[in-house]
Amino acid sequence: MSVRTATLLAAVLAVLAGTSAALAADRQPAAADARHRDFRGTVVWAHGATRTFALRARAHGVVRRFSTTARTRYDHMGGFSGCRAGRHLVVHARWSGSGWIALEIRREGDDRGDWHDGHDDHRNGGHHDDRG
């Protein structure tokens, strides 16, 4: 194989590797930020029997499906019934390999501070007020 052919083959393989990486990035988020993410948007639909719902993101209009579990926390919402179509929510979720799992859900505009993680570092009930 000539040097020119080897160089051309290496360039084609590099392009193909970049294309497959880009396609994989569309399917699932990058590993560094994939484990946990916050989503803001409007509920498009909610299915009580499967405890799933879809959220249309405010930023890009992309609709994402979320599953909930028995461990999902509903911050001042009254449970899954608070996930009604048209409601504006903030969802803290993790990627499971097959889809997004909602870890905590709260109404958008409900400014009660950071997400609760089970302990209170500030001895103020987990609510942070950094507004001064």
Residues 52-63 pLDDT 10s: 999 999 888 899
User: Is pLDDT of 82 > 70?
Assistant: yes
Q: Which of 15-24, 49-58, 93-102, 114-123 has the lowest mean pLDDT?
A: 114-123
Q: What integer is the mean pLDDT of 82-95?
A: 94
pLDDT in tens, 65-74: 999 999 999 9
Token readout for 84 is: 């009604």
Q: For residues 53 and 83, give the distance between their C-alpha atoms in angstroms, rounded to a whole number.
A: 7
Q: How far is CA 47 from the centre of its chain?
A: 19
Q: For residues 70 and 19, give the distance between their C-alpha atoms in angstroms, rounded to a whole number.
A: 38
**Confidence tier at 76 by pLDDT (50, 70, 90):** confident
User: Is pLDDT of 124 > 50?
Assistant: no
**Confidence tier at 122 by pLDDT (50, 70, 90):** very low
Q: 43: Cβ–Cβ under 8 A, 6 or more apart, which residues? A: 53, 54, 55, 83, 84, 85, 86, 87, 88, 89
Token readout for 30 is: 């990058």
**Confidence tier at 15 by pLDDT (50, 70, 90):** low
Cα Rg, the chain, nearest whole Å: 21
Residue 39, pLDDT score: 93
Residue 17, pLDDT score: 67
User: Is pLDDT of 10 > 80?
Assistant: no
